[in-house]
């Protein structure tokens, strides 16, 4: 369909690059790995952190086995333990037995990602259950200094991840008490965003504020069926309670481009636990259809074990996951078909009857997101049959079309805020 002037907000250059990644990984790794916890209290001794076989190149190989395009490391989780030798606290990897006190997990992973040709990102928890000054003015400067170290010492980042968990009980240097903060003002988020833009202008920021990316609203692995990449900034101030309905669906009249990220772990927990097993490759494929297939990005967590390695069974699941996607997309019938673009529809004719496994539809998002309803029809015996319906499209909408066969596929636009601007679809043979 013909190019149109932009309708509403459009993605920035860094957001366009993020959309192209589609599927990347989280790495949750900390003393929690050794204590069998999800949230450390902050009183864990650095002496317990000693992954004697740690090999970040193996992490990258595992990610690539699953087709992931980057890894985001929990450089500091809520327990306050820093995986790099920071100058801001004594609670860091340099005071552990790892690498004889000379280790730096952040550097090892950043270098392994660069060598492996995938992106690198960082997560640094604002909440710190170890630091004695948490909830007092002095800690905010400490936290900003930690973020600055990560932004300036480990090469280019593709994403910077800020958690929304803030304040509560903790060790706090031995006080062992509950501390509360004003989540909207305490961390001086505007100054943090400015730091990120200054030192890593190409990195997307994930947070609860109206930055580059927003949360899908669950940790189960799916984006909402209606998934606008645009929102209005009101109702999404940093540290405030979200407007949940708008968080998950977006705003049809949105004024900023802020697409959805789906974060989910390959295992039940975010950190490795000895009694848990990974999801199957088939389940990961369904997660992919319900996240990337609904215009979102998939951030899939891969927790290393106490050796410092991604377990073999997780790598096997990742390999199966990538193979399922490869099988699904292996034969693109559009490549040899006849494509006809008409007002509010695109037709792909194959010249013979074909078994059809799925379809990928994309809007040209540099012109904005416009479509709010569409249908997919299959032509058989010279008659059209509606096979599926969808809502928003955005960067992409991927549908499995089990049992479909015919000699042509048609995408019809049912509702659109402005004339639809679609890229050529991909129709996959079963």
pLDDT tens-place string over residues 161-204: 999 888 899 999 999 999 999 988 999 999 999 999 999 999 99
**Alpha-carbon separation of residue 391 from 138, 289, 370 (angstroms):** 48, 15, 11
Cβ(426)–Cβ(353) below 8 Å: no
Distance in angstroms (rounded) separating the CA atoms of residues 271 and 304: 8
User: What residues are paired with 161 via a beta bridge?
Assistant: 123, 206
Residue 416 has φ and ψ, to the nearest 5°, of -155, 140
Q: Which two tokens stand for residue 239?
A: 């540290």
Q: Look at strands 297-301 and 260-265 and give their pairing.
A: parallel
Residue 303 pLDDT level (bands cut at 50, 70, 90): very high
271/133 Cα distance (integer angstroms): 27
Indicate the DSSP class of residue 422. Answer: B
- Mean pLDDT, the chain, whole residue set: 96
Which of 96, 104, 97 is CA-nearest to residue 150? 104
Mean pLDDT score, 300-311: 98
As given in the structure block, the two tokens for residue 241 are: 């309670």
**Strand partners for 426:** 360
Distance set, CA 73 to CA 65, 121, 394 (Å): 18, 6, 28
Q: What does the pLDDT look like over 202-259, one tens digit per residue?
A: 999 999 889 999 999 999 999 999 999 999 999 887 767 778 899 999 999 999 999 9
Tell me the per-residue pLDDT of 314-337, one tens digit each, with 9 for 90 and over.
999 999 999 999 999 999 999 999
Please give the share of the chain, as a percent, with pLDDT higher than 70: 99
402-424: average pLDDT: 96
User: How many residues make up the chain in this entry?
Assistant: 430
As given in the structure block, the two tokens for residue 214 are: 């927003």
Q: CA 5 to CA 3: how far, in whole Å? A: 7
At 236 the pLDDT is: 85
The CATH architecture of the domain made up of 333-429 is Sandwich (2.60)
From residue 111, how far is each of 66, 119, 168, 303 by CA, in Å? 20, 10, 35, 19
Give the C-alpha separation, 225 to 372, whole Å.
11
pTM: 0.97
pLDDT recorded at residue 426: 98
Indicate the pLDDT class of residue 4, thresholds 50, 70 and 90: low
Task: Parse the chain into domains and list their residue ranges.
Answer: 13-328, 333-429
Q: Which residues contact 36 (CB under 8 A, 6 or more apart)?
A: 273, 274
Q: Under 8 Å CB-to-CB from 359, ≥6 apart: which residues?
A: 376, 398, 399, 401, 409, 411, 425, 426, 427, 428
In angstroms, rounded to a whole number, what is the distance separating the alpha carbons of residues 409 and 205?
Answer: 38
- What is the per-residue pLDDT across 32-67, written as a single tens digit (0 to 9) for each? 999 999 999 999 999 999 999 999 999 999 999 999
With contact defined as beta carbons under 8 Å apart, do 193 and 160 qualify?
no
What is the CATH number that goes with domain 13-328?
3.20.20.80
Looking at residue 41, its pLDDT comes to 98
């Amino acid at each position: 369909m013909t190019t149109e002037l932009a309708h509403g907000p459009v993605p920035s250059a860094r957001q366009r690059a993020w959309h192209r990644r589609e599927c990347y990984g989280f790495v949750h790794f900390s003393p929690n790995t050794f204590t069998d916890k999800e949230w450390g209290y902050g009183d864990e001794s650095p002496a317990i952190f000693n992954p004697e076989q740690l090999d970040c190149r193996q992490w990258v190989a595992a990610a690539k086995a699953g087709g992931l395009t980057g890894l985001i490391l929990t450089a500091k989780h809520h327990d306050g333990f820093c995986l790099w030798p920071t100058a801001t606290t004594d609670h860091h990897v340099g005071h552990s037995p790892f690498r004889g006190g000379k280790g730096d997990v952040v550097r090892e992973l950043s270098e392994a990602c660069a060598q492996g040709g995938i992106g690198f990102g960082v997560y640094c928890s604002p909440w710190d259950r170890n630091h004695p000054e948490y909830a007092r003015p002095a800690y905010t400067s400490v936290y900003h200094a930690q973020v600055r170290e990560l932004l300036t010492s480990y090469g280019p980042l593709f994403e910077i991840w800020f958690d929304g968990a803030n304040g509560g009980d903790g060790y706090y240097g031995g006080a062992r008490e509950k501390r509360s903060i004003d989540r909207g003002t305490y961390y001086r988020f505007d100054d943090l965003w400015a730091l990120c833009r200054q030192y890593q202008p190409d990195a997307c920021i994930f947070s609860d504020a109206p930055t580059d990316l927003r949360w899908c609203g669950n940790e189960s692995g799916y984006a909402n069926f209606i998934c606008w990449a645009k929102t209005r900034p009101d109702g999404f101030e940093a540290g405030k309670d979200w407007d949940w309905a708008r968080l998950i669906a977006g705003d049809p009249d949105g004024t900023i481009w802020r697409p959805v990220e789906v974060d989910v772990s390959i295992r039940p927990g975010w950190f490795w636990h000895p009694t848990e097993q990974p999801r199957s490759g088939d389940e990961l494929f369904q997660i992919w259809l319900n996240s990337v297939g609904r215009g979102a990005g998939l951030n899939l967590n891969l927790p290393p074990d106490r050796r410092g390695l991604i377990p073999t069974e997780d790598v096997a699941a990742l390999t199966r996951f990538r193979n399922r996607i490869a099988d699904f997309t292996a034969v693109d019938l559009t490549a040899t078909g006849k494509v006809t673009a008409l007002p509010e529809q695109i037709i792909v004719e194959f010249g013979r009857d074909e078994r059809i496994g799925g379809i990928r539809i994309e809007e040209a998002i540099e012109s904005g997101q416009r479509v709010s309803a569409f249908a997919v029809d299959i032509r058989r015996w010279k008659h059209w049959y509606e096979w599926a319906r969808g809502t928003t499209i955005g960067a992409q909408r991927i549908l499995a079309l089990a049992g479909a066969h015919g000699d042509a596929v048609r995408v019809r636009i049912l509702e659109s805020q402005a004339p639809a601007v679609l890229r050529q679809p991909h129709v996959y043979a079963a």
